[in-house]
Homo-oligomer: A and B are copies of this chain.
Amino acid sequence: MTVSVDDFIKTIYKQSILAKADTKLSTISGLLNISNAATTDMARRLARKGLVIYIKYKPLSLTTAGNKLALNVLRKHRLWEAFLYQTLSLSLYEVHREAENLEHFTSDYLAGKIEEYLGNPETTPHGAPIPSFNGNVHTDSSQILLSEAGAGNIYEVSRLSGSGKDFFDLCKSGGIIIGARIWVEKQYRLKKMTEIKINKNKIFLNEDIANAIYVKKLNNN
A contact residues vs B (CB 8 Å cutoff):
84, 87-88, 90, 94, 97-98, 101-102, 104-107, 109-110, 113-114, 117
Contacts of A105 in B (CB 8 A): 101-102, 104-105
Contacts of A98 in B (CB 8 A): 106-107, 110
B113 & A88 in contact (Cβ 8 Å cutoff): yes
* The one of B84, B94, B97, B113 that contacts A90, using a Cβ cutoff of 8 Å: B113
Alpha-carbon separation in the docked complex, A98 to B98 (Å): 16
Q: How many copies does the complex hold?
A: 2
B107 & A88 in contact (Cβ 8 Å cutoff): no
B102 & A106 in contact (Cβ 8 Å cutoff): yes
Contacts of A114 in B (CB 8 A): 88
Contacts of A102 in B (CB 8 A): 102, 105-106
Contacts of A104 in B (CB 8 A): 105
Alpha-carbon separation in the docked complex, A98 to B111 (Å): 11
CB distance from A96 to the nearest CB of B (A): 12
Alpha-carbon separation in the docked complex, A41 to B207 (Å): 50
CB distance from A109 to the nearest CB of B (A): 8
Alpha-carbon separation in the docked complex, A139 to B94 (Å): 33
Alpha-carbon separation in the docked complex, A84 to B106 (Å): 12
Alpha-carbon separation in the docked complex, A13 to B50 (Å): 40
CB distance from A118 to the nearest CB of B (A): 10
- With both beta carbons as reference points, the residue of chain B lying nearest to A90 in the complex is identified as B113
CB distance from A105 to the nearest CB of B (A): 4
- With both beta carbons as reference points, the residue of chain B lying nearest to A94 in the complex is identified as B109
- With both beta carbons as reference points, the residue of chain B lying nearest to A112 in the complex is identified as B88
CB distance from A54 to the nearest CB of B (A): 28
CB distance from A87 to the nearest CB of B (A): 6
CB distance from A77 to the nearest CB of B (A): 12
Contacts of A90 in B (CB 8 A): 110, 113
- With both beta carbons as reference points, the residue of chain B lying nearest to A2 in the complex is identified as B3
Known A88-B110, A88-B117, A102-B105; 17 more pairs at CB < 8 Å = A84-B110, A87-B87, A87-B117, A88-B113, A88-B114, A90-B113, A94-B109, A97-B107, A98-B106, A98-B107, A98-B110, A101-B105, A101-B106, A101-B107, A102-B102, A102-B106, A104-B105
